[in-house]
Structures are given as C-alpha cells and as structure tokens.
Homo-oligomer: A and B are copies of this chain.
Amino acid sequence: MYIGIDVGGTNIKAGVVDGRGNLLNKDSIPTLADRPYNEVIADMAKVSISAAEGAGVSISDIKSIGIGIPGSCDDERGMVTLACNLNFNNVPLRSELQKHIKVPVHLGNDANCAALGEYYMLDEKPRNMIFVTLGTGIGGGIIIDKKLYTGFNATAGEIGHIMLVKGGRECGCGRRGCWEAYGSVTGLILSTKEAIEKNPESLMAKMTLDDKISGRTAFDAAREGDAAARTVISTWAEYVAEGVIDLINLFQPEVISIGGAISAESDMILKPILAFADKYRYNGSEKKTRIQIASCGNDAGIVGAAFLGNNY
C-alpha cells in the first residue's frame, strides 16, 4: 500500500493506492497556504492518516508516501525548493512530514505525478510516453523506459517551455513565445480576447458581453457556428499540435496523452490536432506515435504521487 498526496494551492488531497494503481480511498483538507509551513505539513499528515483509516489500512502497512508539489523539489534532499502557490521556499518537507508519519517520503512535481498516474492507469504500458496537461500553463511528464524522466537535477520535463514563436508572447518563464503562452488555456483565453476585439460583431463577442471570457467561450460560440470562434479554436489546436510535433520529433514515444481541463472538449480538438500532427511530424518510420486524450481524470496526481517511490 502507498499513499499519494496531491498538494494544490486550495486543497491537499491524499489517497491510498494499492500496488496495481487502484485508488482505495481518498480524503482532502484545505491547504490554507498562508500559514507557516509546519502547519500545512501537519495537515498533510492528518489527511493521510484519515484517508488510510477510511480505507481500513494501518499506517504500518504503508510502504511509502509520495507528494506531488506545484513547483520544484529536490527529492534527494527531501526539500521543496520553490512552490509559489504554497509559499514554500526551501522547505524540508520530508523530515517535517516524518515527524508525524515515519515512512519513506518521496517528492515530485505535480505535473510529473499526473503523468505517472496516467501511465500506471493504462492497461498496456508502453516503454515511452509523454503526458501533456493543458491548463493554466502547459505541464506534463516524460516516461522513458517505464520510469519518470527527471534529468540530472530533477527538473526535466518542462514541456510547456519550448519555443514556438521567436519574439512572441511573453511567458512566465522569462522567455517569449513558449508553447505555454499559446497552447495553454491561458493562451486560448488571450487569443479569444484578441479575436473578440477584432470581431466586435461576432456571436462570440455578443455572447460574452456580460460574461467573463473563459477557456469555454470560443468552444461555446464555435458550437453555435461562429466563424471567429472557429478560427480561434483551429489556430489554438494548431499551436497545440506544433508542440506535440516537437515532442514526437525528439522523443518518438509510443503514446502522447493530452490531459487537463481542456480535454473535456476532446471532440473538437483531437481531430484537428491529429490531422495537423500527421501532416508535419518527421516521418522516418511506419510506426507512429499514438496521440490520445488522457483518460485518468483528477485522481491521476494522487496515484502518480503514490508511485513516486517505485520510480527508481
């Protein structure tokens, strides 16, 4: 038995996971990130224990706890180096948590954990897979030889920070024109705003007079037949595909799995992404990477975190 903890800016979620990746029980507690870190970590322990109790599992049966962090961490030293949403800056998460629960503790990036979770939930596990999550940013994880690839300093897999548009939109990472600035939901919303300004007579513009513009706006208007909205979606899908093609040309993995909030719109996005990627990927082989919408849902982060200890 393993415990996986998915720490977000709003909630801490903990789940008990068996050796096959089945989530037996989960629980959550508010993060309240403004508190001192030791209080947040005490609540990580608390919600882990209650999740285990709910599953009828004793803490002595837990082989390890894995924690997915929205930021960067150093698993070797058991430190969270930087996680802005948690106000964690060089926090000794492992030793602090072990004050409450005496089991091995592993740390990982939350998008990496989601990638591991998605991977372990696949019926047939390929040797190499890349998980792409389209959300506020673009994150993900790289599975090579059935293990999470994190580079020599545990910070690899920043797949959102490859450049598509030299000199383009500003990115949070300090560069311009990153994939994330165009292919994320944030990028989609920005493109929607730009299109509304240019097309004030469009249905999309009228639909949003009183509404806040969201990642759904263009999809809703496109479904009503709005041409400007359709252009926003097709351009956005093209940007998503360009990043996917980069990943294929570099990694040629068996599977690229696309997840995140936007995957709910899979009907409208998968087809254009596939068509574009098929046309432009570097074709040296008859064996092609399978591009698919992630199936795992919100619990992938918990399941993947639980398996961090198996990743070595």
Would you give 11 A-B contacts (Cβ < 8 Å), ordered by A? A144-B144, A144-B145, A151-B251, A152-B254, A155-B282, A158-B284, A161-B282, A163-B163, A165-B166, A173-B282, A175-B245
Contact A156-B251, Cβ < 8 Å, known A166-B165, A166-B242: yes
A3 lies within 8 A of chain B by Cβ: no
Residue of B nearest to A74 (CB): B285
Contact of A81 among B154, B245, B285 (CB under 8 A): B285
Scan residues 210-262 of chain A and give those whose CB is less than 8 A from a CB of chain B: 239, 242, 245-246, 249-254
The one of B74, B154, B250, B286 that contacts A157, using a Cβ cutoff of 8 Å? B250
The answer to whether B164 and A163 have CB atoms under 8 Å apart is yes
- Across-interface contacts of A168 in B (CB, < 8 A): 166
List A residues 47-96 near B (Cβ within 8 Å): 72, 74, 81-82
Say yes or no: is A186 at the interface (Cβ < 8 Å to chain B). Answer: no
A159 close to B (CB within 8 Å): yes
Interface residue tally of chain A, by bracket? 35 or more
> Apart from A153-B287, A161-B282, what 7 extra A-B contacts exist at CB < 8 Å?
A72-B285, A82-B284, A151-B252, A152-B252, A158-B249, A158-B282, A161-B249
Q: How far is the CA of A64 from the CA of B165 in the complex (A)?
A: 45
Q: Which residues of B contact A206 (CB under 8 A)?
A: none
> Hey, what's the 0/1 contact readout for A256-282 against B, CB within 8 Å counting as 1?
000000000000000000000001101
Instruction: Return the chain B residue nearest A72 by Cβ.
Output: B284
Contact across chains for A284 and B153 when beta carbons are under 8 A apart: yes
- Minimum CB distance partner of A71 in chain B: B284
User: CB-CB < 8 A to A202: which residues of B?
Assistant: none
| Chain B: minimal CB distance from A291 (Å) | 14
Residue ID in chain B nearest A288 by CB atoms:
B153
Closest chain B residue to A142, Cβ basis: B250
How many copies the complex holds: the figure is 2
CB <8 Å contact, A162 and B249: yes
CB-CB < 8 A to A280: which residues of B? 173-175
B residues near A252, Cβ cutoff 8 Å: 150-156
Which residues of chain B come closer than 8 Å to A174, judged between CB atoms? Answer: 279-280
A126 at the interface (CB under 8 A from B): yes
In the assembled complex, the Cα of A280 lies from the Cα of B156 at a distance in Å of 15
Looking across the interface, which residue of chain B has its beta carbon closest to that of A162?
B246
CA distance A142 to B252 in the complex (A): 12
Q: With A162-B162, A284-B81, A285-B81 as given contacts, are A152 and B250 in contact (CB-CB < 8 Å)?
A: no
CB atoms of A165 and B162 under 8 A apart: no
* A246 nearest CB across to chain B (Å): 4
A113-128 to B contact mask, C-beta < 8 Å, 1/0: 0000000000000111
Across the interface, name the chain B residue whose C-beta is closest to A144: B144
Contacts of A164 in B (CB 8 A): 163-164, 166
- The CA of A285 and the CA of B253, in the complex, are separated in Å by 26
Residues of B within 8 A of A285 (CB): 72, 74, 81, 153-155
